[in-house]
Structure 1
Amino acid sequence: MLWWIFISPALAIPGVAPAEEARYHGQIFACQEGSTQLPASAVNDDFCDCEDGSDEPGTAACANSDRWFYCPNEGGTARYVYASRVGDGICDCCDGSDEWQYPQKCRNLCAEQGRARKARLEQRRSEMQRGIEMRKEAMASMQAEAKEAEAQVAQLEAGKAPLLQKLKDLEEIQRLKRAAVTKEAQELGRDASQYQEKEEKKVSEYAKWMEKGEAPSNSATKQDELCSGTVCISRKLAARREVKQVKVRSGALIDFIEFVYTAGEPLSVGEGKGEEQEAFDLEPGEVITELQGGQGGLLDRVQFITSRGRKSQIYGGSGGENFTFKVTEGKMIVGLDRAVGLAGKITGIHEAFFRELTEAEKAFDEATIRLEDARRSLEAQDVQLTKLRQSLEDAIGSHAAYKALKKCGEGTLGEYNYKICPFEDAKQGHVSLGRWKGWAIDAPHVGLFENGERCFSGIVRSLKVQFECGENYVVETVKEPSQCVYEATMTHPAACDPKGLDGSGEDRILGPHEAHLEL
């Protein structure tokens, strides 16, 4: 039976969008792929003749194709529904056109839905307008911040030349002290090679390190490499320093490790914000001689063991490959090298002599410490410059309003409470979904969070957030398309674009997957 003969003239070809109507008029119908021609009576005869399903726009006969059914929904919003829903006894189109073979089945609800849609659009328009005003105010405040950042950048740039000269002078002093201590070691019959500077690495190797995000240490040779199972690190001779305390910031991973000395500036390695843990205090005359923990691509946990057999608490979580590193006899651990990035793995240990030093060794160590402090000062200034330049970019870039409107969004979905803080972190209850990484390159209002807590499977949680226009900060949806990989939507006034009020898109045809309306 040919169902189309029961259709009103306004719906002569059910399921066909206005843009395609011309193809369906005439005595002959050509399939979309172009090679097959059919009589007009074959259209919507509930049999799939065309491979692309174009001959059945108004039935479910070609439901396995990519064809959709068009709902005119006059008075409401035109939309498409999946072909499999046509003629299934359920009214998917507000005008009931998807059940056209059962004329009395569906009541036309389009006028009612149209009125509700209009009210929603007006409410949405008002919310967007308020969000746009908030965004304008935020952009104005960021202009003042940009001027301040520009002045600070100029001041720091001007102060670099004296620091570089100081560094050059200290390098020359260390060179002279190195020559003296090397000569003394040779005269005493000791190994003098440990005082020599290591041969510079080839450019290609250095490039590989940088590509991996690891900081090259001064120790390049195989004899300076330590391996514990599959975990390998380097070791280098450092100036003698007396460690009195080790501080750690961590969660499930290790963010910061700080060595506090009895004299001189502390050495802090790592990135992130982890929670401050109970510090490990060393007793007088006690030194760190062993390092244990676990790491893979990240540093999961760490523990310090002293010359007296005392152990610190185990900081961090339980993942990663186990490792144990002990110092060379007569030496102690006074610092670490770590890969760049959040929870970067340990790449090297700093060893210093534990025995009493000669005067030449003390002079060399003192020169080395002063040089290292100068280098760290210069590095700290470079870090500050980088942050200021980033602040400047944030203040004048496309995401400037987000910096000014720096507020967390919250929402309760199902049994979970969510809190998403741009530029900081995101949580599902007390579980970290990740720390702020930055903005997606290919989308203007998509933020990325990485290095959250590990799942039981070992996967580290991550989150992608689509920010949408709204005057309030609300987490509206959260999905988990794959294990421990989350996607969310959150309203934020910084996402409000004045172009969104031009009315474009109000009359667009909704796709079958769209369940709500947007401006």
Structure 2
Amino acid sequence: MEICFIYVTSLHFLITLICCADVGIKGIALKNAQFYIQNKDFSCLDGSNVIPYSYINDDYCDCLDASDEPGTSACPNGTFYCVNVGHKPLTLPSSRVNDGICDCCDGSDEWRKSEITQYCENTCQMLGNAAKEEAKKIELIFVKGFEIRTKLVIKGKQLKTDKQHKIVELQSKERVAQDSKNEAQHNKEIAEKIEKITIKKYGLIPIGQKSNNEKSKDEIEVADVFNTIDINKNNKIEKEEMNSFITFDLYKDSLIPQDDINYFMDDKKELTYVEFSTISWNRLKLMIFNDKSTFPIQDKSVKAKPSNVFSKQNASFKRFHKSLYDEIKSIFNEAENARKSFEEAGKRLRVIQKELYDIKEFLKKDYGPDDEFAILYEKCFEFHDTQYIYKLCLFSHVTQQSKTDKSFISLGTWKSWNNLPKYNKMLYDKGEDCWNGPQRSTEVHLSCGLIPSFISVSEPNRCKYVMEFILPAACTRLQNIRHSEAIELEHDPQEL
């Protein structure tokens, strides 16, 4: 009862004020009508002067704030208030009053023209009806958008929960992967130690690890051997050419095992000089001791004269025993496999660590008061104009791509929300530097819409971009209240 009494009393007071005020004065707002009382001296709203009531709207500016001339153009700083009953009220600069152009839909700004109703057609009701229909459409979009937003909130919270659980799982996998990498590293070090001992024992140090003098000498020897085996001089070693050399006849039965040929040629049909020097040379040296000698040729389908290719000495060369040859091959294979295992273990660990890093980066960001924006993390959208393709990846980065040369320019990376607690402006900064200017940055303005999409892109200031973007996550209750207030229409004071 007490609340009802206060409401009735307030309404009665408002009606009393309106009845006492001269609402017939042109150009005053409803809220200021109480200060314009008939036959009573008028006090300027800024307190600068007190004038007789008859001085109001007399085309002479008596008040510094122009409040005595609300319906004329006498004061340069004056304003005219269009009531626009049936539609939204409007405030005009005084210079547009009685200028022969109908700015108010009710025609009140041209009040000194004869027969106002004929001079300015009153279109307020028609415009008001159209505005109400548009408001209903917007309201419907909001209602549907808010329903979608509610679902996004549920999905966003679930996504964050899943990510948090994933961290625990990945941390366990990381420990296992780290142990596996450590074990692989230990095995690699042992295998490489044995490999180094074997290389040193039999003089199989790779060319790249020798001193300059040794390198030069060994390269000459490699070239001599390559040219000797390359019987047809096509700068390649082929399998048929390998069959001509008794060096590969380990059992002295004039039969060279195909597996040995394949191993020497690294399972290739032919070898270039680079492949021979980097792959096959050390494998060939496994077949002889450090005492280098001639490299004889069998008299088979391809004939060539014997050639001294290892040194100028004529002592006969010695071969490894086949079992020793296989043993050394095995040592090299084990070392290579150990290196591959270590590399693969490292890759597996890095993949897990990268996923962990990405999840932690995701969880650092603010996705709105209800996590309604979380499901849109790193989702990308494009906007095309005549020159560029703009790409916005939410909570990540913004780019501009030229349609002519396809070049990319960074317009900023995610920094923060720019107007908390409203969550409708995003800031992306630290983009590429402008020529003789600042770093590029982008502010993304979010508003309610049913489908996430670009509306526009502009550059109001040099290197400062503004993007308009709609999405359901921006359909908040606060926005609905503001919208309802915006479309509320004022009533004609005389109707009260």
The two structures have a TM-score, normalised by structure 1, of: 0.48
In terms of fraction of residues, the more helix-rich structure is 2
Larger-gyration structure (1/2): 2
In terms of fraction of residues, the more strand-rich structure is 1
